[in-house]
A and B are shown apart, each in its own frame.
Chain A
């Protein structure tokens, strides 16, 4: 039990830390809220007079937007954006010196951030529900189970990608350029602005081979029951393939990185 206690305390401290700067927290949430509000408004307008658009019914699309804001707050936590800087500046030395697993520690911080986001997203969703009166389409129990599983994969996949970006800090302080490219791509292909299946089939097929759609698009398709069994299996396999591949790559890179780690600034 005492083994998990340390992570529990890290979780609590991380929350306390996150609540210190109230204004900053509120601004951050306001930004997320407005972004969802905007998407909902745009689609509402586009649907006016139409029953279906791009093969989506209005209710489906509204459900989609609600789900995407929920999923992204859960999968795309931002806490690890500073990891590379922490490595380069030697800040992680503190954790490396202590009897606590570094990855476990980072995963806990990530988890704490996700929980915090989820709580705020739920509050925001309630406000938005009052404005838009959505009818959320609920999945069957089996679909819901698969949905939870795919979220888990998304969370792990994103965590691995964050570790990959973080590892740049072993060699260089600059992670802004690759991260920016990644975020740009993410914005378009994770399904935040629009569902991917409104894109041409060819583009869809290519994008579905990358890890990006597995950060929310895929999960929502499962939730809304819009996939054929064959599609479901293919996408599941693709996301699991990426998870395994990245686990191996991240493991190798970190092993090398830690060996060359300079524990700067001490």
Chain B
């Protein structure tokens, strides 16, 4: 196997945060006396990522996902540990390194606010020293894929969030980065736009063989894009593996949902599993029950046989619920 494109070994980043006592008095006191506390944003994390992988960073707010990405991008100086991206130490901020990666932040923009997006694209062309032909080809392609032809010459501040995010992505991808860090790329976007961006990221990965690390609060992003997930909690890595493994390991139940053709009694259903929902909507009776994963098929068959079922659906619990379970259980 080829050498991993990203190598992280015992990486840590501690911040000193000053603790202010509450109230005005506390503020006055802080003028001459301050207590600092060390916050371990990232604590002894190690992982390797191979070329072409799409990896999801999952974690609650403040878990250390973004701090890790910032260190991988060379913005933050690690407290300890080793890291290498594309064979470079990111902190050296070598030009050759910077030309090969991109960091996209959903909440931040690199586009010049008062000018049309096209101006920033041209600036990036110059900064990344992209040959004219290549620039035109890539730009046309990206503009086409993301369907933003009409807004390229409109002032950025007049764009909608979705349009702006698409232009942000274009600005970040014009130099065809081999490594892409996406921090909450779909934050604040509606479902349609989320889908468009997801499809686009998938396409980009396939077409350029790009290595992508993605953080997102929307588990949908991770589920759809990433085969592998790294779960971080309080600066520690608590899981690293296939997303399916998490589901197998932590999702103990499956969800069966039924639509009944006739009204039934709740007790009749309770024999088969834990009833989670039981609704009568006009003449329509619907219900969902939880059953252990391995028994799901059998239970469904039994319900079908014994009750007037019109429709049935077997689902995994939502990935959010599974991840909650992971955090509750803590370390593996």
Name A residues whose Cβ lies closer than 8 Å to a Cβ of B. 2, 5-6, 8-10, 13, 16-17, 20-21, 90, 93-94, 96-100, 258-263, 265-266
Question: Which of A6, A13, A93, A262 is close to B115, meaning CB atoms less than 8 Å apart?
Answer: A13
- Which chain B residues (1-32) contact chain A, with CB distance < 8 Å? 15
Known contacts A20-B114, A266-B105; is-contact A97 B74 (Cβ 8 Å):
yes
Nearest A residue to B130, CB-CB = A2
In the assembled complex, how far is the CB of residue B106 from the closest CB belonging to chain A, in whole angstroms? 9
* B103–A97 touching, CB < 8 Å: yes
Distance, CA A93 to CA B70, complexed state (A): 10
* A99–B98 touching, CB < 8 Å: yes
Chain A residues with CB under 8 Å of B119's CB are 13, 16
In the assembled complex, how far is the CB of residue A172 from the closest CB belonging to chain B, in whole angstroms? 12
In the assembled complex, how far is the CB of residue A258 from the closest CB belonging to chain B, in whole angstroms? 8
In the assembled complex, how far is the CB of residue B16 from the closest CB belonging to chain A, in whole angstroms? 9
Q: Is B93 an interface residue (CB 8 A)?
A: yes
Chain B residues with CB under 8 Å of A20's CB are 114-115
Chain A residues with CB under 8 Å of B15's CB are 262
Q: Is B186 an interface residue (CB 8 A)?
A: no
- Which chain B residues (106-138) contact chain A, with CB distance < 8 Å? 107-108, 110, 112, 114-115, 119, 122-124, 126-129
* B95–A99 touching, CB < 8 Å: yes
Nearest A residue to B120, CB-CB = A13
* A99–B99 touching, CB < 8 Å: yes
Distance, CA A127 to CA B11, complexed state (A): 63
Judged by DSSP, the binding face of A is helix
Known contacts A17-B115, A20-B115, A96-B93; is-contact A6 B126 (Cβ 8 Å):
yes
Known contacts A259-B77, A261-B76; is-contact A266 B128 (Cβ 8 Å):
no
Chain A residues with CB under 8 Å of B124's CB are 98
Q: Is B43 an interface residue (CB 8 A)?
A: no
Q: Is B73 an interface residue (CB 8 A)?
A: yes
Chain A residues with CB under 8 Å of B128's CB are 98-99
* B107–A266 touching, CB < 8 Å: yes
Chain A residues with CB under 8 Å of B95's CB are 99
Distance, CA A134 to CA B122, complexed state (A): 45
Chain B residues with CB under 8 Å of A94's CB are 108, 110
Distance, CA A261 to CA B66, complexed state (A): 14
* B127–A96 touching, CB < 8 Å: no
Distance, CA A6 to CA B122, complexed state (A): 9
Chain B residues with CB under 8 Å of A100's CB are 127
A sample of 14 cross-chain residue pairs with beta-carbon separation below 8 angstroms, ordered by A number, consists of A2-B126, A9-B123, A9-B126, A10-B123, A17-B112, A93-B75, A96-B75, A98-B98, A98-B124, A259-B77, A261-B77, A263-B70, A266-B75, A266-B108
Distance, CA A13 to CA B127, complexed state (A): 13
Chain B residues with CB under 8 Å of A6's CB are 123, 126-127, 129
Distance, CA A9 to CA B129, complexed state (A): 12
Chain B residues with CB under 8 Å of A265's CB are 107-108
